[in-house]
A and B are shown apart, each in its own frame.
Chain A
């Protein structure tokens, strides 16, 4: 991928916001278990950073996805995983389908304020009984006159205690599981929407996550995105961006882990010499950085193909799988070299270790990525070879 001056410019803009408006507050937000989504998103929205690849007519910058990916990569410089994830939910998880398939009216009503940072969005797919197995969701949207009446519940919903609207995947018919679903926008102030208290998580502490309950929630049918029954397909498409985002937004974090660990091991003396002078240590760090660079190269390739309009589901799934595992390896390997300091709660590497554990679980677990890759490679039982 070739980066232009425009690419560099938007990257610098993001970097400045992180340095001024985000990193100085990360410790506080982590401690409080939440961050001020409306306040921060407004700041990002004012700079156009929430709509990089979104249509100009709704306030977006109208750039191609390579710019979006670059901004996502810059988010990895944030000193925790929660804030990149929260931003990613807004830009790459809850709104891509809306931007592509929503009616003009729906986009004006929800996409425009999401891009401006006036409204906070959540994507509501997972349920207590169906996480990565999206087709098994039970939440139902029944037609009643011009409305849908929604019943069910959604689990592990990022941004949800602060969200203004949810992009909900629900069953809208009794058809087969892949053609009976629709994506529907549900404003959180609709009567019958109830949000649980914040869930207590291993990591991603400053991101709010909750369970959502729908009890006869009534929304107009015009809040549906695209055609009825197309929800599963649109969500699968939307997942491509989500997965590319997940990969992009952790690369700088991994760079940071390696470089800060190297700095620490250079200063730290044991047995009369800097820790870093142990061959095992400097070789290990070199290897971790090498793996990160390889993922970065593959990501750029996937982004390029995605910009060209290709279906990159296979490569995006491979990248998500590999990066989830690599993130664990890098954070774990680096943490080890910090010794007792690495086990302390407020240590940055320790935080990334906890936060990055989600990558192999959220947005489709590793096992689900493998299932998708198998399918694309024609390896599943019943698939024809050759």
Chain B
């Protein structure tokens, strides 16, 4: 049995992502954080470097890969210290898989290559103003209609908190085609410039500033029926299976947030002096860092383990929920302690721990809240 989750191929991808991050992201982070988004060129560059197509079929411009390739990329991108960049640049990782797995061949051939090349941007739109983690409660309605002899879905409703919603070209949108509850949901691929579809302004958030977040409005929006992803009324299943890698990736983001914050502290405590000695010479600080490092190690190993079991085809939806909660508990703890160790400087925009503190807060909310994870776990425990 191998003791390592990352083989040479994974390491090679990691190396590419690391170089990409150092050259194309880190130098521009502060600028993008301030301006509230990343430029389209970054998607093109990431596509060119092969960082967007990992795990997608070669015929669509992808590169074969497993979840540890995705984890390696995710971790390296996060080292720039901005959750927003990672969420924005990788919005395709939640928007595109349903198309890849369940879309028609025509749809796949048309959409996927452009997105993997970075010339088009994909995102996922499920949450609504009135339904967040409660996916089955969504209200955006799609009715079958015929216009000029052609079949369409007429979509009405709105979506909320959509990552990359401002900049995206393709939206994988959950709509209600049937009755109430989870059985009446379908996925549609909606393209930006069609009539009746509009995008609100970039929402102002506590963190993740480098990723844009939008509200979407559909007003008698006509979507060609061929843009249906998978079968009608089977969307809930697609969404739920899409959640597993998303939650693993959120756990990875949380763990890497912890790692970056911890490393920043390990450096800071060597130089900063209080009460006549460096911070690291205070026992309480050393112990604090020891606890932070221990929690991170345990969380990261658990996430890797669950990712490996997911990769092996096991049903680990309960364990994935556990991994997400453990990882965000850990990153909540570590980012809090990191700002505390930095003191006044931790409250200032110029310190990386200040950004990590803000960025981290969404991880226990997005992709299913902490409480929803506990509901999933409780249900799996037969409760």
A residues contacting B by CB (< 8 A) are 126, 129-133, 135-136, 155-156, 199-204, 269-272, 278, 280-281, 328, 332, 335-336, 339-340, 342-346, 350, 353-354, 357-358, 360-362, 365-367, 370
Contact = CB atoms under 8 A, between A and B. Distances in A.
Given A361-B343, A361-B344, A270 B134 contact: yes
B348 A339 contact: no
B339 A343 contact: no
A343 B205 contact: yes
Contact of A340 (B340, B347, B350, B365): B365
Given A133-B274, A354-B358, 20 more contacts: A130-B274, A200-B348, A201-B347, A201-B349, A202-B346, A202-B354, A203-B347, A269-B137, A270-B133, A271-B137, A336-B370, A343-B361, A343-B365, A345-B206, A353-B206, A357-B339, A358-B347, A362-B344, A367-B284, A370-B284
A350 B207 CA distance: 11
Given A344-B205, A367-B284, A361 B346 contact: yes
A202 B358 CA distance: 8
22 contacts: A130-B274, A135-B275, A136-B276, A199-B348, A201-B347, A202-B347, A202-B354, A202-B358, A270-B134, A328-B336, A332-B332, A336-B365, A340-B132, A340-B161, A343-B206, A344-B205, A350-B206, A357-B347, A361-B339, A362-B344, A365-B340, A366-B340
A129 B273 contact: yes
Interface string B187-229: 0000000000000000111110000000000000000000000
A200 B349 contact: yes
A280 B371 contact: yes
B236 to A, nearest CB: 14
Contacts of A354: 206, 358
B131 interface: yes
Interface in B122-176: 127, 130-134, 136-137, 160-161
A155 B346 CA distance: 13
B204 to A, nearest CB: 4
Contacts of B365: 336, 339-340, 342-343
B131 to A, nearest CB: 7
Contacts of B207: 343
A336 B369 contact: yes
Contacts of B284: 367, 370
A346 B346 contact: no
Nearest to A354: B206
Interface string B268-300: 000001111000000010000000000000000
Interface in B337-365: 339-340, 343-344, 346-350, 354, 357-358, 361-362, 364-365
